[in-house]
Structure 1
Amino acid sequence: MSEKLSTARPNTRASRAGMALIACCIAQFLLTINGSIASIVLPTISTDFGVQLPAAQWVVSVYPLTVACLLILMGNLADRLGRRTILITGIVTMGAASIMCALAPDILFLTVSRTIQAIGGAMIATSGLAAVSAQSTDPAARAKAIAWWAAIGGVALAAGPFFGGILAEWFGWRGVFWFSVPLAIIAVVIARAAVAESRADKPHPTDPVGQVLVSALIAAASFALIDGARAGWGSPLILGALALAAVLLVAAVLRARGRTNPLIPLQIFRNRSFIRGSLTSIVGFAAAAGLFYLAPQYLRDVAQQSAVQAGLFLLPLALVSLVSAQLSGLIVARNKARLDLLLAGTLIAVASLMLFVLADVSLWWVAIGFAVFGFGYGLLNDPLSVTALAAMPAAEAGLASALFSTAKQFGQLLGIAAISTLLITVSPSFSTAYHEVGRWAWLALAACGVLIVALNLRSGATQPSTSASASASASASASA
């Protein structure tokens, strides 16, 4: 896809590209850490506002839900209006909504503020690395930018509970949201100075009706998943949401069949590598989000650790995932994406089984289990990008990237919903529910690891060339 780039003097281009990378990495950090940082303060928020945990859960769940609903739309807007414009707008929106979260007087205001925060996140997700990639025509420099972007995102998601614990201990739960404000200001200042504008010459045709149908479909299905345990799976509200999701699915398919340039061409789902990668992404990020939702509350409510202590127990997970993410890049570069995914799934399964067996024995075993899980989690992103996108035609790479990123967000939402449903079905009190069925939650995460292995066990799984791997990673990261 050709780009219209703002000009820059040759002797300043490299430094400007470096500053643009810093701005976009800060934005990526904000986008990703806000997906997991609130989990550790859910018990405190629940107590402070006098609501039960199922209601407070929406503070976490609404974030990936909103991002997933808006990724395709925001990607289209970024192509049309400019990546720099959408990036800066997203960062400003994220910062302003973070202030709203920090000042929230009740749980409803906080949940709405988190929704606005996620709107900014969707803007960042679809414009950040695309803006960085447009700063340089050097493939090596672009590959390094992609590597940094992916590493920052992976570590931020894993580090969210750690930072959340520290901030909550020092400043209360509201400090978790104030944390994003200075970072947003810094990112905006740097982005305005360093990020050049870029946009697509021939953006994908808009389909407002298709966008509404797809977003409403994701929202209806997600609402049923999130609120099913609280409201009751047989309640009219949940049955109505599921029925609406089914109707919207049929309508979206009919809409795609009836247009020359639909929002989502149906033929994209005939690509087995894309389907395998997307399914693996849903399962892998469901496991990760499930752990990041379960572990902080286990440490706080069951193990009776302070917010800081809980964060410290989760720190090895974040650090190890950074190391394994770099190792993953080396493995994928040698055309071993399938091996990488098999190793990731195995480690996630082994770590979860360790927690299933040993969580009640010693917290040191818990910390080791978290570290093993983090190593597996860090291996996921690069090979998933390759498996899902390397076989896609270049003309569909942007759309495939948006769908792949939507799958990741939906996976996070599914993981949170599944674990919370298991617990809430027993009791609205986390500690009570955990003592009844909590160990089975670890087993559910182990099942996700086994499923990752099963999805990629066939020798026919995609093994793209190195050049294809780089291209796929670039496309995926640009929308991740």
Structure 2
Amino acid sequence: MRAPIHSSNRSPRLALLATSLGFVIICLDVTVVNVALARMRDGLQIDSTALEWVGNAYTLAFASLLLTAGALADRLGARRVFVGGFAVFTCASIGCALSDGAGMLVASRAVQGVGAALCVPSSMALLGAAFPDADARAKAVSIWAGTAALALGAGPLVGGLLVDRFGWPSIFLINVPIGVAGIWLTLAHAPETLRHAARRIDLAGQTLAVVTLAALTYAVVESGRLGWTSTIVLSGLTISVVMAALFITVEARSAQPLLPLALFRSAAVSVSALTGWSLNFGYYGLMFAMSLFFQSVRHDTPLETGLAFLPMTAVVTVANLVSGRLTARFGYRLPMLYGQALAALGYLALVFVHADSSALAIALPLLAVGSGVALAVPSINTAVLMHVGPSRVGIASGVLNSARQIGGVVGVGVFGSLVRPESNDMVAGLHIAVALAFATTLLSLVVARTRLEQRQSAIAKCAG
């Protein structure tokens, strides 16, 4: 184990900026692509299934490799892994911009996902090293998550402007200068973390995880074209279930598992993972579906679509800052629960949206969803940092973010299967999709409240 490298010339604030830039472009590429889908479809002559893979190839690689990336951050040092991931992501962005067909674009998006997976767990570990004080760390995490939430919300507007002015490749080229700046800031100001040389990479677990998620994603994406009763779709789901069972068995017996199942004994970790899954299921799926709704049903331009998401963007940063202050003062439970409740109300209101609904009738539910998600996300990150030791921060962050990205993969797949431009009634499909998002968010809220109350009761009994 090597000691962390310290330097009086390093600025924690600039280290926060570096990690935030990494998270910004990772999250920006989740939503910025949505407003370019129609232009990609026309320019590259691809169908709706291929469009879903443009989104899900990225998220699938991201989700599949997060746990291994967390272990690498613990083993090799967070700064080294973060810089490597940033470089991979930036180069893959150039590949996306130069794509002349669906194959190259989907492959480049998958490589982007690899870079993103390397960045996220290591960025949280870098924050922990740069801000050892608990209160300062909570505020830093709030800012870090806030910039990411802002990127998620701003993605449609930024994408709309770029696509309208410069064409769809520009949404990827914008990552290049940000990537160069982020790498320089990281090398100059981010502290290196402790390296745990004994940490091993679980290749068997990683392989099973990739096969499980790939089979699940394939089945969900293809369900829109083939139907849920298709032999191919049912086979994909079956393979996913079998591989998931094998994965859990292997992890339970492994000395150094990819996914330490003991982490889930902590109510804070298990609740944060479930909350992260449900938040991304609804949010990622909604952004994908609403972008198609605006452009295919209401016939908006990419810029008009971006402007339609603007109210959501306007409150994201404020909600994250409020979440950080609430978390620092009252703990993570309050913003976690209230954020989910607000998002659930937003999904419920969208059930009543139609093609001729007013801009306000659409904006208010989107505002509620964006605010709720932005309120809850910092709290789940803080919960993990508070309840996991320094040697496990990387892998615990990987667990949390894997849950979030898996939720996003399933969300885009499910929403995409229900809201297809080829469908005769996209609006009906949208209503079913947002009703599912409401149900999953409400269920997550109930489970989180129950588990956290049980934890508080147990602590009170021990103290008594």
Q: Shared topology, TM-score over 0.5?
A: yes
Q: In 2, are the aligned partners of 1:278 and 1:388 still within 8 Å (CA)?
A: no
Question: 3-state DSSP class of the match of 1:379?
Answer: helix
Q: Which residue of 1 aligns with 2:307?
A: 312
Residues in 2 aligned to 1:448 and 1:258: alpha-carbon distance in whole angstroms: 31
Of 280, 298, 302, the residue aligned with 2:275 is 280
Q: 1:236 to 1:442 in 2, by over 3 A?
A: closer
Question: 3-state DSSP class of the match of 1:288?
Answer: helix
Q: How is 1:76-475 mapped onto 2 (pairs within 5 angstroms)?
A: 76-201=71-196, 203-335=198-330, 337-359=332-354, 360-385=356-381, 390=386, 396-424=392-420, 428-429=421-422, 432-458=424-450, 460-461=452-453
Q: In 1, are the aligned partners of 2:324 and 2:378 still within 8 Å (CA)?
A: yes
Residues in 2 aligned to 1:131 and 1:3: alpha-carbon distance in whole angstroms: 15
Amino acid at match of 2:183: V
- CA shift at 1:167, angstroms? 0.9
For structure 2, the residue ranges without an aligned partner over 5 or more in a row are 457-464
Q: 1:449 to 1:148 in 2, by over 3 A?
A: same
Residues in 2 aligned to 1:239 and 1:81: alpha-carbon distance in whole angstroms: 40
Question: 3-state DSSP class of the match of 1:264?
Answer: coil
Larger deviation: 56-65 or 103-112?
56-65
Larger deviation: 107-116 or 246-255?
246-255
Question: 3-state DSSP class of the match of 1:458?
Answer: helix
Residues in 1 aligned to 2:218 and 2:445: alpha-carbon distance in whole angstroms: 29
Q: 1:435 to 1:295 in 2, by over 3 A?
A: closer
1:52 aligns with 2:47: yes
Question: 3-state DSSP class of the match of 1:197?
Answer: coil
Residues in 2 aligned to 1:83 and 1:381: alpha-carbon distance in whole angstroms: 22
Q: 1:390 to 1:264 in 2, by over 3 A?
A: same
Larger deviation: 298-307 or 226-235?
226-235
Residues in 2 aligned to 1:165 and 1:182: alpha-carbon distance in whole angstroms: 19
- CA shift at 1:65, angstroms? 1.0
Q: In 2, are the aligned partners of 1:133 and 1:145 still within 8 Å (CA)?
A: no
Question: 3-state DSSP class of the match of 1:451?
Answer: helix
Residues in 1 aligned to 2:330 and 2:370: alpha-carbon distance in whole angstroms: 23
Q: Which residue of 1 aligns with 2:22?
A: 27
Question: 3-state DSSP class of the match of 1:285?
Answer: helix
Structure 1 length-normalised TM: 0.87
CA RMSD of aligned residues (A): 2.6
Q: Which residue of 2 aligns with 1:4?
A: 3
Residues in 2 aligned to 1:436 and 1:146: alpha-carbon distance in whole angstroms: 39
Residues in 2 aligned to 1:370 and 1:297: alpha-carbon distance in whole angstroms: 15
- CA shift at 1:459, angstroms? 7.8
Larger deviation: 307-316 or 135-144?
135-144
Q: 1:190 to 1:147 in 2, by over 3 A?
A: same
4+ residue segments displaced more than 6 Å: none
Post-superposition Cα deviations, 1:152-209, rounded to whole Å, max 9, x if no partner, equal 1121122211211111111111111111111112212222333343342355333222
Question: 3-state DSSP class of the match of 2:21?
Answer: helix
Question: 3-state DSSP class of the match of 1:5?
Answer: coil
Q: In 2, are the aligned partners of 1:321 and 1:375 still within 8 Å (CA)?
A: yes
Q: In 1, are the aligned partners of 2:6 and 2:192 still within 8 Å (CA)?
A: no
Residues in 2 aligned to 1:182 and 1:156: alpha-carbon distance in whole angstroms: 16
Q: How is 1:29-44 mapped onto 2 (pairs within 5 angstroms)?
A: 29-44=24-39
Residues in 2 aligned to 1:459 and 1:262: alpha-carbon distance in whole angstroms: 25
For structure 1, the residue ranges without an aligned partner over 5 or more in a row are 465-480
Sequence identity of aligned pairs in percent? Answer: 27
Structure 2 length-normalised TM: 0.90
Question: 3-state DSSP class of the match of 2:450?
Answer: coil
Residues in 1 aligned to 2:333 and 2:218: alpha-carbon distance in whole angstroms: 34
